[in-house]
Amino acid sequence: MALQQTLVIHEALDSPNANGAVVQELFAPYAEAGVTVKLTTVHNAPPENTANTSDFITIVVPGTAGKRAGGKAPTLGVIGRNGAIGARPELVGLVSDADGPIGCLAVALKLAQMKARGDHLAGDVIVTTHLSTNVSMQPHDPVPFMGMPVSSDTMNHHQVLPEMDAILSIDASKGNSIIKHRGFAISPTAMQGYILRVSPDLVATMESTTGCPAVTFPISQQDITPYHNGLYHFNSIMQPHVATRAPVVAWRSRHNQSCPAAPRRPITKSTSRRPCASAWKSASALAPASASSSTRRSGRRSARCIRTWRCSRPPARAELPAPRGADQPAAASLAACVACGGDSVPCRRFHSSKPPARAQVFW
Digit-coded pLDDT (tens) for 102-160: 999 999 999 999 999 999 999 999 999 999 998 888 777 777 778 899 999 999 999 99
Q: Which amino acid is at 91?
A: L
Ranges 41-45, 49-53, 256-260, 341-345: which has the least confidence: 256-260
Among 31-35, 95-99, 187-191, the range scoring the smallest mean pLDDT is 95-99
Q: State how far the Cα of 353 lies from the Cα of 363, in Å rounded to an integer.
A: 28
Backbone angles phi, psi at 351, to 5 degrees: -90, 125
Cα–Cα distance, 46 to 240 (Å, whole number): 22
The pLDDT, as a whole number, for residue 250 is 94
**Residue 118 confidence (pLDDT):** 95
Q: What is the pLDDT of residue 203?
A: 95
**Closest residue by Cα to residue 84 from 66, 98, 74:** 98
Average pLDDT of the chain, as a whole number: 78
Question: Looking at the predicted structure, is the pLDDT value of residue 281 above 60?
Answer: no
More confident residue, 307 or 60: 60
pLDDT exceeds cutoff 70 at 362 = no
Confidence at residue 96, expressed as pLDDT on a 0 to 100 scale: 85
Quick check: 350 pLDDT over 80?
no
Phi, psi of 116 (to 5 degrees): -65, -25
CA dist., res. 235 & res. 148, Å (int):
12
Q: Between 315 and 105, whose confidence is greater?
A: 105
Looking at this protein, which amino acid is placed at residue 7?
L
Tell me what the mean pLDDT of segment 17-39 comes to: 96
- Give me the pLDDT at residue 348, please: 53
- d(CA 103, CA 94) in angstroms, rounded, equals 14
Contacts 24+ apart (CB under 8 A), 193-199: 193/224, 195/219, 195/220, 195/221, 195/224, 196/247, 199/249
Residue 32 has pLDDT above 70, yes or no: yes
Q: For residue 255, what pLDDT band results from cuts at 50, 70 and 90?
A: low
Nearest 5°: the CA angle 252, 256, 258 is 135
The per-residue pLDDT for 267 is: 39
Chain centre to alpha carbon of residue 187: 11
- Whether 298 has a pLDDT exceeding 60, the answer reads no
pLDDT of 295 higher than 50: no
Specify the pLDDT at position 97: 87
Higher-confidence residue of 98 and 347: namely: 98
Taking each helix axis from N to C end, the angle separating 328-340 and 274-286, rounded to the nearest 10 degrees, works out to 160
Model's pTM, two decimal places? 0.69
Q: Which residues contact 77 (CB under 8 A, 6 or more apart)?
A: 125, 126, 127, 128, 160, 161, 164, 165, 166, 167, 168, 240, 246
Which residue(s) pair with 76 in the sheet? 125, 166
The pLDDT of residue 285 = 41
Map residue 287 onto helix, strand or coil. Answer: coil
Single-letter code of the amino acid located at 44: N
Q: What phi, psi does 86 have (nearest 5°)?
A: -150, 155
In the chain, the domains with their CATH numbers are: 3-254 (3.40.630), 269-349 (no CATH)
Query: Rounded to an integer, what distance in angstroms lies between the CA atom of residue 78 and that of residue 110?
Result: 13
Q: What is the pLDDT of residue 137?
A: 82
pLDDT at 287: 41
What distance separates the 2 farthest-apart alpha carbons in the chain?
95
pLDDT band, very low/low/confident/very high, at 53 (cuts 50, 70, 90): very high
Question: Picking from 49-58, 123-132, 259-268, which range would have the lowest pLDDT averaged per residue?
Answer: 259-268
Residues 6+ apart with CB under 8 A from 288: 328, 331, 332
CB under 8 Å, gap of 24 or more: what pairs does 353-361 form?
Answer: 356/318, 356/319, 356/320, 356/321, 357/315, 357/316, 357/318, 358/315, 358/316, 358/318, 359/315, 359/317, 359/318, 359/320, 360/315, 360/316, 360/317, 360/318, 361/279, 361/282, 361/306, 361/315
Asked if residue 307 has pLDDT above 50, the reply is no
Segment 184-236, tens digit of pLDDT: 899 999 999 999 999 999 999 999 988 999 999 999 999 999 988 889 888 88
Percent of the chain with pLDDT over 90: 51
CA dihedral 294, 297, 302, 307 (to 10 degrees): -160
CB 126 within 8 A of CB 163: yes
344 band by pLDDT with thresholds 50, 70 and 90: low
